Amino acid sequence: LMAEKGGYKHFMLKEIYEQPRAIADTIAGRVLEEKGEVYLEGLDLSATELAAMEKVFIIACGTSWHAALVGKFLIEKHCRVPVEVDIASEFRYRDPIVNERTLTLLISQSGETADTLAALREARGKGGKVAAICNVVDSSIARESHGVIYTHAGPEIGVASTKAFTTQLVALFLFAVHLGRVRGTLDQAQGRAMLDALVTLPRKVEAALELDGAIEQAAREYMGARDFLYLGRGNQYPIALEGALKLKEISYIHAEGYPAGEMKHGPIALIDENLPVVVVVPHNDTFEKVISNLEEVHARGGRVIAVTDHTDPGLTEKSDAVFMLPKIIDELMPVLTSIPMQLLAYHIAVLKGTDVDQPRNLAKSVTVE
Ligand code: G6P
């Protein structure tokens, strides 16, 4: 079994470390950098069809739903088409408004999640176009879709999703560039700039993994907490949700992800010296706003764990721990900020002695409703 785990203590850790390779494999052969274009072999929806879409749904469950939330930012920003994200078990029962100019994108690592498959059939039954982002080749969701974009993460054994998630983010980025180019909302130079950034991603993920030791130290300090709060804004709000989900799943510590700007409407009441608050705060347009949330946490005695790519004296002074990531374009930053989320949850779970790869009550793939 140790051999299967490639010398790692758990599949989850092995899969965390496989991410530079998994991401490189998901990009490989799909990027026409010079032309600023993307080639997606199994998508099977023509440029004309894609250009005609007036609405996009992205539907998924669990961690894949968090990827969907990031996808909304990518597609709305670069393709200028309205995107609605929904949880599959909600979408399937609410008689969604779908027609032939609606593209429904399903995201599923396994391609077998019952609710996601039912959502696909619902959208298809209403005459919509359907595409999937899947990791498992020839899975039910992949087979029943008009087109599929495979993530090339390789088999994911750990119940808590890691490399499948970050490769879903990469697949969504590729799809957004492709859609933007065929719709004419991204020109060649813009497409090229995005793809130039994308090809640097694997080695930046590699650099982010070097935080492992420092995160393990922090895990020792915070493992005794009863609750955690995760804050993020914009395309980092889904990463806050994902960080909280990872921690819950494998350490059984209660955790909540919240949009940073919404903290004042509730979670602020919870803050005291017993509450670690993970603040995801890359140096983007809302940096100063999230810093002021971080200051509010600090002022109330909360223990701040900051995840950033920017050296800022105020941030350092008011944080109990700072995890510094490499810089990359804002669209790809969610991939990098995911790494400390995974490692923090992993190390806390290991220290608590839980069954990291097979947490209680959870299944890798939920094939029944
Ligand atoms: C289960 C797994 C999660 C996963 C979710 C959706 O709950 O434990 O890790 O995110 O299903 O799975 P899918 O295969 O559709 O991405």
Q: Nearest CA to 239 among 114, 91, 344?
A: 344
Q: What residues of the chain score a pLDDT lower than 70?
A: 1
d(CA 205, CA 357): 22
- Give the nearest ligand 1 atom to 136 CA: 14
pLDDT tens per residue, range 94-104:
999 999 999 99
- Give the nearest ligand 1 atom to 116 CA: 15
Strand duo 303-308 + 321-324: pairing: parallel
d(CA 330, CA 162): 20
Count of other CB atoms within 10 angstroms of residue 11: 23
ipTM for this prediction: 0.98
H/E segment holding residue 91: helix 88-91
Q: Is 364 among the catalytic positions?
A: yes
The torsion defined by the Cα of 250, 331, 19 and 141, in degrees rounded to 10, comes to 70
Whether the Cβ atoms of residue 227 and residue 275 lie closer than 8 Å to each other: yes
**Confidence (pLDDT) at 267:** 93
- Give the nearest ligand 1 atom to 362 CA: 8
Count of other CB atoms within 10 angstroms of residue 285: 9
Whether the Cβ atoms of residue 106 and residue 81 lie closer than 8 Å to each other: no
- CB burial of 180-202 (b: ≥16 within 10 Å; e: otherwise) equals bbbbebbeeeebbebbebbeebb
Q: Give the binding-site residues of ligand 1, using a 6 Å CB cut-off.
A: 61-64, 108-110, 113, 116, 159, 161, 362, 364-366
- State which amino acid sits at residue 109: Q
**Confidence (pLDDT) at 4:** 87
Q: pTM here? A: 0.98
Q: Which of 365, 367, 368, when mutated, tests ligand 1's pocket best, judged by the most ligand atoms within 8 Å of its CB?
A: 365
Q: Which of 61, 133, 247, when mutated, tests ligand 1's pocket best, judged by the most ligand atoms within 8 Å of its CB?
A: 61
Whether the Cβ atoms of residue 174 and residue 160 lie closer than 8 Å to each other: no
d(CA 157, CA 134): 15
Whether the Cβ atoms of residue 166 and residue 23 lie closer than 8 Å to each other: yes
Q: Nearest CA to 229 among 250, 259, 187?
A: 259
Strand duo 37-38 + 55-60: pairing: unpaired
